[in-house]
């Protein structure tokens, strides 16, 4: 697996149409970071792709950043791996943001189940 370091975490390329995003502990995701990840993802994927958002680390996301993240049209599906109750609550909230409403988002407590759903 190939991976790339971002200013706030890393992206692991699972295969040609799936990437995993792991945000560093304690980061507060802002709109510039969303632009950074969008630009990186668009540079490595030729068409549509799916994402595994790994919420193993505790981090926060500013509302404007959360709203912008869901606007990238080439995202097919998003699986959110939320291994604990706090991460699950955060993931459930993120999935209700209006810009996310058109996305195919599922929350999983098991990473392997999330990957199976993406494939």
User: Would you identify the CATH topology of the domain 2-118?
Assistant: Transcription Regulator spoIIAA (3.30.750)
**Along the 119 residues of the chain, how does pLDDT read in single tens digits?**
799 999 999 999 999 999 999 999 999 999 999 999 999 999 999 999 999 999 999 999 998 998 888 788 899 999 999 988 878 887 777 776 655 556 788 999 999 999 999 98
In the chain, where the domains are located = 2-118
Numbers of helices and strands, H then E, in the chain: 4, 8
Q: How far is CA 17 from CA 41, 71, 89, 106, in A?
A: 10, 18, 27, 17
**pLDDT tens-digit readout, 41-66:** 999 999 999 999 999 999 999 989 98
pTM reported for the whole predicted model: 0.90
């Amino acid at each position: 697996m190939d991976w790339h370091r971002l200013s706030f975490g890393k992206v692991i390329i699972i295969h040609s149409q799936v990437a995993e995003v792991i945000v560093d502990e304690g980061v507060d995701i802002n709109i510039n970071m969303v632009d950074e990840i969008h630009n990186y993802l668009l540079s490595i994927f030729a068409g549509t792709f799916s994402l595994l958002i790994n919420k193993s680390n505790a981090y926060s996301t500013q509302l404007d950043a959360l709203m912008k993240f869901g606007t990238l049209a080439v995202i097919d599906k998003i699986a959110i791996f939320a291994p604990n109750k706090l991460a699950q609550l955060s993931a459930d909230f993120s999935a209700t943001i209006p810009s996310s409403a058109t996305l195919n988002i599922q929350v999983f407590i098991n990473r392997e189940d999330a990957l199976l759903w993406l494939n």
